[in-house]
Chains A and B, each alone.
Chain A
């Protein structure tokens, strides 16, 4: 059983819709991450949060809006997406504020399809 839980597991949305992805971790970590995995491309880091504060935005378009209300929960709000945003979005957690970060623990991912 994973310590990082993501919902929904699958999401289909139109380009004008607004939806959100949710991540919850039960590992006592204080750093959380969003990664994107597109077909035939390596995983890419999107956002980093430490103790609820965003510390990294890896040049992500503003149609992706993260939110971290507390150290256990992370959201990714989606609006006006493009079909090329269809991908597997992975949440991860770790001990906070370190480079290198040590071991990362990933959730099962949310498979997003934009029509």
Chain B
């Protein structure tokens, strides 16, 4: 059974720092991995989708990498800003899973201090 873990559960950094969020998954048989952002009490915003054949994806100050064989992904945020404060979730779609059955981690709550 696929399990997704995100460490740390919470992270606080000063503005301007570069930071890395971690996501690990137990079964490497995945189609893709997706990173989301969730603001308090709000829905999810898709940030980056990495296909299993890809190594990384970039969008602005965000860079996500995927090492499928080791079951790990990282989300790198450059030059962090207070507006980046949110919970970041990663989710995988596994072989044998049904449509839309993303397996989510519990998230990393990021706080960027001015």
B43: which of A2, A31, A33, A56 is its contact (CB, 8 Å)? Answer: A2
Who on chain B is nearest to A102 by CB? Answer: B49
Q: Indicate if the CB atoms of A106 and B45 lie closer than 8 Å.
A: yes
A94 CB within 8 Å of chain B? yes
B residues contacting the other copy or chain, number (CB 8 A): 25
CB atoms of A56 and B93 under 8 A apart? no
| B103 interface residue per 8 A CB criterion | yes
Tell yes or no: B91 within 8 A of A by CB.
yes
Interface residues in A39-69 by Cβ distance below 8 A to B read 40-43, 45, 48, 50, 55-56, 58
Known: A31-B100, A99-B93, A101-B100. A108 touches B106 (CB 8 A): no
Closest to B31 in A: A100
In the bound complex, what is the Cα–Cα distance between A40 and B105 (angstroms)?
10
Determine if A103 is an interface residue (Cβ-Cβ < 8 Å). Answer: yes
Q: Is B41 an interface residue, CB under 8 A from the partner?
A: yes
How many chain-A residues does the 8 Å CB contact rule pick out? 33
Interface positions of A (Cβ within 8 A of B): 2, 4, 6, 31, 33, 40-43, 45, 48, 50, 55-56, 58, 88, 90, 92, 94, 97-109, 111
In the assembled complex, 19 residue pairs joining A and B whose CB atoms fall closer than 8 Å, in A order, are A31-B100, A33-B100, A40-B106, A42-B103, A45-B102, A48-B98, A48-B100, A56-B98, A56-B99, A56-B101, A90-B43, A98-B99, A99-B98, A99-B99, A101-B100, A103-B34, A106-B44, A109-B43, A111-B41
Which B residues fall within an 8 A CB radius of A? 4, 31-32, 34, 36, 41-46, 49, 89, 91, 93, 97-106
